[in-house]
Structure 1
Amino acid sequence: MAENWTTLRELLLPEAPKRGRAIESALRDAIRDGRLLPGARLPSSRDLAGQLGVARGTITAAYTQLVAEGYLLARHGSGTTVASLGAEQHRPSQQPGAPAWRLDLRTGIPALAAFPRAEWISASRSALAELSDDSLGYPDPAGFIGLRTELASYLGRVRAVSATPDQILITNGAADALRLTIEYLRTTGHHSVAVEDPCLPGERELIVAHGLRPVPVPVDDDGLQVTELAKTSCRAVLVTAAHQFPLGTVLHPERRRALLAWARDVDGLIIEDDYDAEHRYDRPALGAVQALDPARVAYQGSVSKVLAPAIRLGWTVLPDRMHTAIVARKRFSDMGCATLPQATLAWMLRSGGYDRHLRRSRALYRRRRDALLEALAHKLPDWKPIGIAAGLHVVIRLPDGIDDRLLSQALAARGVNAPALAGYSTQSIFPGLVIGYATLTPDRLRAAVTEFAAATPDSSQAAREESG
């Protein structure tokens, strides 16, 4: 049994003399120095005595003294563990975490409390039971074939995506898919990527981090302005065609055709981020741009907006000319994604559990969206919600004269996280707030609108100040 604790004997207490005080001091120093962390379980007094070649009573006395000083905890049936109190003052200072918002209206997060835990556990058990022993080895860098097969069927059925299992690459979320694509573009001679303006700031940051320059292209009510895209020197563009982020517009059919014509003319690539297309309420489903020209579109998505970001599963459907090189890059970067969660997701897709969860969550999100819109219409009728037909967020267009950045700051001071639209764009557009509603109950969304009204200066007062 003592051999199970050789690390403690050989690495932490190698020089400790065989005297109680010296052993006690060596343990105390290991805790203070952070070599024994809070929660670490120590050997029993009998085991440690055997390792160090001392009487058991010597170790018992040392443990008792360190428990009295607050360095150790001793619980019947749980053994002896390192306490947090004795090490707390010697641990490195922690970086301050994110603010504890009273009302967090950030985008990009689904209702985490609605995650189908029981179905996921059941699917995980079923998937593990049917996996072969060989499947528990290093994964295929392209992804678990069972998941790629189910995704090819699902994406064809739900998004009209044209894909075979061999064209799909499984990634650690959509960000991993975008990273791999950007790195491929850089190695094949690209220097820049066009992005929608406004867009998610993190996308611009990711592009810069991996060696390319993001070039903003304006968006209007019909989506990306392809005529402006054609004025750039870019040969690749990142678009959210089904539900533009954050404005919520849909890329008009004529713009879709123009975008594909642009890609053919410049021998370019369209990166289609289909981040939340499953969530729609007041409009019919829209097919992916990828279906119109699979050779010119790299299509990407994930389960982050449907299930939970913590699962870290995404995918990209790649043009044939890119597939081999990007799968090789995936293999060299992380050896592929974990097989067990892939197998679990494949089981949920095959059994219908994924579709059932989507039906439940759509109804949930519609109720929350409607509560937000009703509260806005009642308390702030001059505030105009945009992009309400789909997704997990809305943009609220503010009356002229309200500075969205200042309003966002005022709300933050009240414990409300409501990002300003100005933070998503490189150009000056209308003032607005980008509001995610998926994570809050209807009552809390109504409370958020009350906070909006309380933090907003009276419109007549604002007008007088502007005229003065």
Structure 2
Amino acid sequence: MLGIELQRQGEVSLSRQIYQCLRKQMTEGHLRSGEVLPSTRELAKQLAVSRNTVYEAYEMLAAEGYTVSRQGSATRVADGLYLGNLPAAGHSVEKMRSVNEYTANFRTGQPDLRRFPRHLWLRLLRKSAEDALYEQWGYTGPDGLKALREEIAAWLFRSRGITVCPQDIFITAGATQALHLLAELLYGRGREILVEDPCHSGMLRVFQGKGFRIRPVMVDRQGLQTKGLTEGNGLCAAYVTPSHQFPLGGILPASRRVELLRYALNNDMYIIEDDYDSEFRYIGPTIAPLYSMAPERVIYVGTFSKILFPALRIGYVILPRQLHLRWRYLRTYADVQNPLFEQAALAEFLRTRRLDRHVRQMRQLYGQRRQALLQSLKELVNKSWYVWGDAAGLHLVLEFPGMNFDQNFVRHCKKQGIYITPVDVHSIQKGAHLNKLLLGYGHLAEAEIKKGILLLNEQLK
């Protein structure tokens, strides 16, 4: 009756099913305005359910305004419920392939999750939950766990040689959230942001989505070309990756750092420094952050996604004092805070120097894989190639003179089970880097690297 078919063994109650069916009949126009519904007794008999079940369904419809009734009169369909012919729902969404579906997966920014000490981490999570005070199970504020902020300050001193006050550190749900909040925070100061070209396309979209005008500055093997900086009104910030430029891998030299800082001072703007993976440096010591030269002018963004595991979703920013109040307001009305237990577990991971040991072990492992990748390229790739940015991080760039890697090449590789990204994907002004490919290798064992290069070489032919 009325097109109602009940699933008697389903998890949805019978009354809820009746309500849903009748609501659908009303919005699709099969039950029209003013039409009388069957009595509860009649419908219960037709559907072989109790009268109370139908009564509950009618109560739900009445509470939401789908029906009207007066005491002693029949229940009728309310006015204005017909939705009409709804348009088809958007464009079809292409199914994303799992990383496991690729025979050769050169995705960038992927740490080796197989080497993370999961059992230790689970013990720390359990202990942090057991030790948490009752008030910590509530809202604890937008700054982040005090113990974690103190341990991050100590970690930065050990690993980067910089002194940071824990009060200037704010915990985030990764670097991406940090950039979303910073875009909101700085938008009132201007409408234009200076960005390296090429730069991470995902981070670029954060600023574009906020409505910033993008001012690209070209990058070479040493990072941002500061000679390309031009005067202009409306600049509020520069977004840079000076310790390991993404994607080309350059390290910004001291003279360019000074020139960039001088430019920021002259234009009364901030520099957003994204230090996403410089812990893994294979030639010489870790690079000192730009922040160490001008903490009142540089906003430092760090993350634990590349060091530990991406699902952790814990990052941090170091903010100049004048930005603290506005940051707290924005974070409070974004999502208030990070989950407490993960913060507490990470604080303990840092306090016991587990992170220091893990980074040392992974740096050695990634260094070996870097060498395996370079050796495989020498042995297996017949075409001429040059490497960019292999001194640090979890990826490198290969330049193939005379070749152009467009989206057709990418699609063909995916059909052959190869995940590969051309550098031009991350270019703002297209065309300057068509002959370069990005190869992520941190998550690949040496045998996987060699197999992947063999497959890639076939496509390069």
**TM-score interval w.r.t. the shorter chain?**
0.7 to 0.9
Aligned residue for 2:281, secondary structure, equals: coil
Distance 1:432 1:232 in 2: 32
Give a deviation string over 1:179-217, Cα, whole Å, max 9, x none. Answer: 11111111x231011110011111111111122122211
Tell me how large the CA RMSD over aligned residues is: 2.6
**Structure 1 position 351, deviation (Å):** 1.2
With over 3 angstroms needed to count, the CA separation of the structure-2 counterparts of 1:185 and 1:348, relative to structure 1, is same
Quote the residue 2:350 is aligned against: 349
Given residue 195 of structure 1, which amino acid in structure 2 is its aligned partner? Answer: V
Aligned residue for 1:334, secondary structure, equals: coil
- TM-score where L is the length of structure 2: 0.78
**Which of the numbers 391, 394, 415 marks the counterpart of 2:393?**
391
Give a deviation string over 1:339-391, Cα, whole Å, max 9, x none. Answer: 11111111110112212221222222122221111000112262222111110
- TM-score where L is the length of structure 1: 0.77
With over 3 angstroms needed to count, the CA separation of the structure-2 counterparts of 1:389 and 1:325, relative to structure 1, is same
Is the Cα contact below 8 Å between 1:243 and 1:391 reproduced in 2?
yes
Is the Cα contact below 8 Å between 1:119 and 1:353 reproduced in 2?
no
Distance 1:94 1:220 in 2: 39
Distance 2:111 2:250 in 1: 20
Q: Which piece of structure 1 moves more, 289-298 or 424-433?
A: 424-433
**Structure 1 position 292, deviation (Å):** 0.7
Distance 2:201 2:133 in 1: 42
Aligned residue for 1:113, secondary structure, equals: helix
Quote the residue 2:289 is aligned against: 288
User: What percent identity do the matched residue pairs reach?
Assistant: 33
Q: How many equivalent pairs are there?
A: 386
**Structure 1 position 117, deviation (Å):** 0.5
Aligned residue for 1:367, secondary structure, equals: helix
**Structure 2 residue 449 is the aligned partner of structure 1 residue 445:** yes
- Give unpaired runs (5+ residues) of structure 1: 28-92, 458-468
Is the Cα contact below 8 Å between 1:183 and 1:211 reproduced in 2?
no
**Structure 2 residue 253 is the aligned partner of structure 1 residue 252:** yes
**Structure 2 residue 437 is the aligned partner of structure 1 residue 436:** no
**Structure 1 position 9, deviation (Å):** 6.6
Quote the residue 1:124 is aligned against: 125
**Structure 2 residue 34 is the aligned partner of structure 1 residue 8:** no
**Structure 2 residue 415 is the aligned partner of structure 1 residue 413:** yes
Distance 2:163 2:17 in 1: 58
Quote the residue 1:238 is aligned against: 239
Given residue 322 of structure 1, which amino acid in structure 2 is its aligned partner? Answer: L
Quote the residue 2:194 is aligned against: 194
Distance 1:111 1:214 in 2: 34
Distance 1:161 1:181 in 2: 22
Whose helix fraction is larger, Structure 1's or Structure 2's? 1
Distance 2:406 2:368 in 1: 26
- Give unpaired runs (5+ residues) of structure 2: 1-9, 20-39, 54-90
Aligned residue for 1:241, secondary structure, equals: coil
Given residue 96 of structure 2, which amino acid in structure 1 is its aligned partner? Answer: A
Given residue 217 of structure 1, which amino acid in structure 2 is its aligned partner? Answer: V
Distance 2:369 2:226 in 1: 34
**Structure 1 position 11, deviation (Å):** 3.8
Quote the residue 1:31 is aligned against: none
Q: Which structure 2 residues correspond to residues 70-149 of structure 1 after superposition, within 5 A?
A: 95-99=93-97, 100-149=101-150
Aligned residue for 2:171, secondary structure, equals: strand
Is the Cα contact below 8 Å between 1:239 and 1:271 reproduced in 2?
yes
With over 3 angstroms needed to count, the CA separation of the structure-2 counterparts of 1:13 and 1:347, relative to structure 1, is farther
Is the Cα contact below 8 Å between 1:162 and 1:294 reproduced in 2?
no
**Structure 1 position 7, deviation (Å):** 7.9
**Structure 1 position 96, deviation (Å):** 4.3
Runs of 4+ residues deviating >4 angstroms:
12-21, 93-96
Distance 2:441 2:182 in 1: 31
